[in-house]
Amino acid sequence: MKEIPLSSPDITDLERKTVLEVLTTRHLSLGPKVLEFEEKLAYYTGVRHAVAVNSGTSGLHLCVKALNIGEGDEVITTPFSFVASANCLLYERAVPVFVDIDPLTLNLDVRQIETKITKRTKAILPVHVFGQPCDMDEILRLAEKYSLRVIEDSCEAIGATYKGRKVGTLGDCGVFAFYPNKQMTTGEGGIIVTSDAQVATLCRSLRNQGRGEGKGWLAHERLGYNYRLSDILCALGLAQLERINELLAKREKVASLYSRLLKSLPSVRPPFVSSDVTMSWFVYVVVLEERFTREQRDRILIGLREWGIGCSNYFPPIHLQPFYANAFGYKRGDFPITESVSDRTIALPFYGELGEEEVRYVVERLREELEKT
């Protein structure tokens, strides 16, 4: 069996043709493809505005800034995520306040949110981890009760729905990301979605060095950033968006095959999917039984890699990352469910073009490695 990567983008002649067409024009940045990509993504998600940016991280940062979240403000979020969902708060000197996760969905446990709300709490930043939507009804109820803003980190969840509504559209604003391992890609890039015209206007200015819309090239109304996304990458995004239903369906098929085959491995728990959501499959992460230690999990990862199988631990807890532990004094035991789950996760190879033979190979090698522990 050839080496099986952890992830791989799904690129066809349509994407290559669309990108090459941009290269025949003089509009490589700030051109018509940016606007077209924004309009079509807004239509796809059902919001009024979309603002393309150069990464999901940049998008989250601009949402924080556009909602006037600043120094000393507290934002409730999850410690089980990619580090950007907390870093975006620190950029504005806001304080991430972590809530432990639900052991099944792996999203923040909404039952614990209210206990963390103080007079300094300004917002809730839920992360739809691995494409699994959070319990947004309870989050929005608490946001209304305490006059909080809601920023949805939907970077891993393009196309996912919560009770029939697309994630990213339920709060004040949401962000999708398009790194090559995502459901659709622009290579590097992200996009902010919102129906708040003021937020959209601010984000467009902030991503473009603080320039005002319709103002001169050297007229800067506010402190801004170079968070622009080029026409070349937007063209790639347009081709991928045209294929989005196909891309999501292919990943769903691979996930279903994994889940079926893994039933024969009782010490492995496949991803849980809530009944009132549509999962958008970003990665395929299994959780080992509680009897497994982190060291045993790590030996399994090493064994799988020796078979040529790309795999990883997803995610290390944010609060135990060296920077956060040093800056805030976090330690093991602060968020026990996050830590326990993180110690036992294995991300298996996952992408739309993964074939049945390869999935069976991964599952069989996983079986062998489990038998060694």
| pTM (two decimals) | 0.97
Among the listed residues 368, 358, 350, 130, the one whose alpha carbon sits nearest the alpha carbon of residue 264: 368
* Residues of the chain below pLDDT 50: none
Cβ atoms of residues 98 and 328 within 8 Å: no
> CATH 3.40.640.10 spans which residues of the chain?
13-242
Tell me, what's the pLDDT at 45? Answer: 98
Tell me, what's the pLDDT at 215? Answer: 75
Q: What backbone torsions phi and psi does residue 126 show, to the nearest 5 degrees? A: -75, 145
Tell me, what's the pLDDT at 249? Answer: 98
Distance of alpha carbon 157 from alpha carbon 313, whole angstroms? 19
Distance of alpha carbon 105 from alpha carbon 110, whole angstroms? 11
Tell me, what's the pLDDT at 58? Answer: 98
- Count of beta carbons in the 10 Å neighbourhood of residue 218: 7
Tell me, what's the pLDDT at 31? Answer: 96
Tell me, what's the pLDDT at 92? Answer: 98
The catalytic residues are 182
The domain made up of 245-372 has a fold known as Aspartate Aminotransferase, domain 1 (3.90.1150)
SS3 for 97-122 is: EECCECCCCCCECHHHCHHHCCCCEE
Domain range 13-242, its CATH number among 3.30.465.10, 3.40.640.10, 2.40.30.10, 3.30.470.20:
3.40.640.10
Tell me, what's the pLDDT at 213? Answer: 81
Cβ atoms of residues 79 and 100 within 8 Å: yes
Cβ atoms of residues 341 and 309 within 8 Å: no
Tell me, what's the pLDDT at 195? Answer: 98
> CATH 3.90.1150.10 spans which residues of the chain?
245-372
Structure tokens belonging to residue 92: 């504005």
Check residue 338 and report its DSSP letter.
Answer: H
Q: Is 277 exposed, middle or buried (0-12, 13-18, 19+ CB in 10 A)?
A: buried
E strand intervals along 24-114: 49-53, 74-77, 95-98
E strand intervals along 179-298: 190-194, 268-269, 277-278, 284-288
The pLDDT tens digits of the residues spanning 252-302 come to: 999 999 999 999 999 999 999 999 999 999 999 999 999 999 999 999 999
Distance of alpha carbon 186 from alpha carbon 244, whole angstroms? 13
